[in-house]
Copies of this chain bind each other. A is one copy, B any other.
Amino acid sequence: MLVATRNPLNIGSAARAMSNFGFLHLRVVNPYEIAFREARSAVGASALLASAEEYKNVADAVADCTLVVGTTAVGHRELRHPLRRLEYGARLIRKEAASSRVALLFGSEKVGLSNQDLSHCHWLMRIPTREAHSSMNLGQAVAVCLYELVRDAKARGQQERPKRAAAGEVERMTALLNEALRLSGYFKSGAPASTEDKVRRLVRHLNVPAGDAELWLGLLRQIVWKLRSGEKLAG
């Protein structure tokens, strides 16, 4: 919910972040009329913006919500409301939103939420910015809050990580590399087998992805081929 927003770019970017993260119901309270009109008519304005509901005051805008949360850039220390960090507040919001409607209020760019706006809030939430520069751009603050609401604490990279090459492929790479090193004179003739083992360890450390192994084998074969043909000429 955007309260008294002045800048059409900010209305637009808040709407874009909502769409990115799947929050499709925007309400605007008392926006600067021109800003709201401009935002709606902007190129690429989302369907979300077209269907945004406009209210004259916060009371009407939050009437059907069971939890109303205001956002603030700290600063005013004598807040009469519980103030929660985003990481924790988002958890409470998710819980409530599972069964009923929650309003998340963002104030105007210059002054944030007024005391009257705040009096409709159950509690306030702040993004953990550094104290020396706590005030965020409105569109960015919306994006960060909504991201926290959808982020998955259990997300792992496992499934999206590419498979490692099979040991057989890696061993073929190792053999070719050893051959190339032998042909280049890197190994003195009669070098102990342990030297080849060192190379094997080196190659294992690379963690070659499955999709790259064939390309590597091709590169190495070509180098070995070239070194061999040079040897024949020399011989």
Interface size on A, residues (CB 8 A): 49
Interface contact B161-A16, CB-CB below 8 Å: no
Q: From the candidates B130, B136, B147, name the one contacting A22 in the complex (CB within 8 A).
A: B130
Interface assignment of A107: CB less than 8 Å from any CB of chain B: no
Interface contact B147-A13, CB-CB below 8 Å: no
Q: A20-B134, A88-B157, A140-B140 are in contact. List 7 more A-B contacts (CB 8 A).
A: A16-B137, A20-B127, A80-B212, A143-B144, A147-B147, A148-B151, A153-B153
Q: Residue-by-residue, is A82-99 near B (CB-CB < 8 Å gives 1, otherwise 0)?
A: 111111110010000000
Interface contact B130-A161, CB-CB below 8 Å: no
Residues of A near any B CB (own CB < 8 A) = 9, 13, 16-17, 19-22, 46, 80-89, 92, 127-130, 133-137, 139-141, 143-144, 147-148, 150-153, 155-157, 160-162, 209, 211-212
Q: How far is the CA of A63 from the CA of B10 in the complex (A)?
A: 36
Name the residue of chain B whose CB is nearest to the CB of A73. Answer: B20
Q: How far is the CA of A160 from the CA of B135 in the complex (A)?
A: 19
Also in contact, A17 and B140, with CB within 8 A (given A127-B147, A157-B88): yes
Question: Chain B residues with Cβ under 8 A from A89's Cβ?
Answer: 157
